[in-house]
């Protein structure tokens, strides 16, 4: 008998956050989050997404033991401004028992019908800055801090319960040895001269911070046309500054400016923290901070987190300037492998950007949809 309860207090939420630690305790590929960060993500007093979103947290029990979890979400900007009556769900984990996954998803469906939503889709987060997609290929590769890992049986549960594929995502990687700098060194000089552009690099986070608001504005402009895009609000900018920007090596953030010192392109790369997070086991203390600091300073793998180009400058070769700047940084730091975050499989424009590096698709994800 499966019993589902709503997590309503801090103690319940701690159980919600830590459930995957037992579910994946024997997996060499699962990357645990920092428990404190995950708790703050779900705290309405700390995460500004709750100014325009609601969330419900559910735990499934079997014989008194937690066997599954799910977050049901409504992003009211999406519903009221974009007219998408979508019930979101994410952070969806469960043992290989269809009765468990069905009971949890039925709770999501009940909320969706109660709020007159038309369909439910997941796994997704609150917005585009969150993790997305259930893993359907690439189970024998270590996860990242910005993606979910899951067992292969998850896909079968979705399809057995009547869900259909909504969006597909691909994750790519390539060795830095694939990068031929002659492909962009000369071109980037011509592009900068033609459009009056210049690069901006940083050595200190304090130098970077005054530009971050403008970067997030460009992010909104760059990604506005993508499916289910929800813009970053002013209060979220401050939140992301503290949560992410201060954590990233400043030399891994690149801006391209026009003659008026307006940011027209940006890129964010992160060192891989996967193995460091596995060693930390969800906690910064006593030794987790040390493993993360070592990864930040010395890791030879990097993840291309975001690239944004103003619509006026798209398809004009600006990426050649970005790649030239990263090539110089990666040479200095002796980076070996470059990974990319999940990208929509039908985003052919982004595929064109990377084609010269012969990337390998090593993971695939998808979100699933069901009418209510």
Question: Which pLDDT score is estimated for 19?
Answer: 98
From 59-73, 79-93, 228-242, 264-278, the region with the lowest mean pLDDT: 228-242
State the pLDDT confidence band at 275, using cuts at 50, 70 and 90: very high
**pLDDT tens per residue across span 51-72:** 999 999 999 999 999 999 999 9
Structural domains in the chain, CATH included, are 2-172 (3.40.630.30), 175-361 (3.40.630.30)
Residue 318 has a CB neighbour count (10 Å cut-off) of 22
Long-range contacts of 49-56 (CB under 8 A, 24+ apart): 49/75, 49/126, 49/127, 49/236, 51/233, 51/235, 52/76, 52/77, 52/233, 53/77, 53/126, 55/126, 56/6, 56/107, 56/111
The dihedral sign for the CA sequence 285, 288, 291, 295: negative
225's CB contacts (< 8 A; 6+ apart) are none
Which of the four pLDDT bands, split at 50, 70 and 90, describes residue 227?
low
The pLDDT tens digits for 150-176 are 999 999 999 999 999 999 999 999 999
Characterize the bridge pairing of strands 301-309 and 337-340: parallel
Whole-number mean pLDDT of the chain? Answer: 94
- The strand pair at 86-94 and 343-344 is best described as unpaired
Q: Which two tokens stand for residue 204?
A: 């200190």
């Amino acid at each position: 008998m499966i019993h589902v309860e709503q997590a309503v207090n801090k103690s319940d939420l701690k159980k919600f956050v830590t459930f995957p630690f037992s579910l994946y305790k024997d997996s060499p590929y699962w990357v645990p989050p920092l428990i404190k960060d995950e708790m703050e993500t779900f705290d309405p007093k700390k995460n500004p997404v709750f100014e325009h979103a609601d969330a419900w947290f559910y735990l499934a029990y079997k014989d008194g033991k937690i066997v599954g979890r799910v977050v049901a979400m409504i992003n009211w900007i999406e519903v009221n401004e974009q007219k998408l009556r979508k019930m979101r769900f994410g952070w969806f984990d469960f043992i290989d028992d269809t009765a468990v996954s069905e009971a949890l998803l039925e709770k999501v469906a009940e909320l969706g019908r109660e709020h007159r939503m038309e369909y439910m889709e997941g796994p997704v987060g609150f917005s585009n800055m969150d993790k997305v997609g259930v893993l359907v290929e690439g189970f024998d590769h270590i996860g990242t801090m910005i993606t979910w890992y899951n067992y292969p049986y998850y896909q079968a549960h979705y399809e057995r319960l009547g869900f259909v594929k909504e969006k597909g995502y691909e994750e790519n990687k390539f060795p830095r040895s694939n990068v031929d700098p002659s492909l962009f060194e000369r071109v980037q000089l011509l592009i900068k001269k033609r459009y009056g552009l210049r690069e901006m690099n940083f050595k200190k986070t304090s130098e970077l911070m005054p530009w971050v608001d403008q970067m997030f504005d460009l992010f909104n402009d760059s990604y506005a046309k993508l499916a289910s895009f929800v813009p970053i609000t002013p209060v979220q900018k401050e939140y992301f500054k503290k949560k992410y920007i201060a954590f990233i090596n400043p030399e891994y953030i690149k801006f391209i400016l026009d003659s008026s010192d307006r940011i027209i392109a940006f890129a964010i790369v992160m060192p891989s923290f996967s193995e460091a997070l596995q060693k930390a086991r969800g906690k910064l203390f006593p030794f987790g901070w040390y493993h993360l600091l070592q990864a930040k300073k010395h890791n030879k793998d990097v993840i291309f987190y975001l690239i944004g180009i103003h619509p006026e400058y798209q398809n004009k070769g600006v990426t050649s300037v970005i790649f030239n700047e990263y090539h110089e940084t990666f040479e200095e730091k002796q980076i070996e492998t470059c990974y990319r975050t999940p990208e929509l499989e039908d985003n052919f424009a982004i595929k064109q950007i990377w084609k010269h590096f012969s990337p390998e698709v090593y993971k695939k994800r998808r979100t699933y949809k069901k009418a209510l």
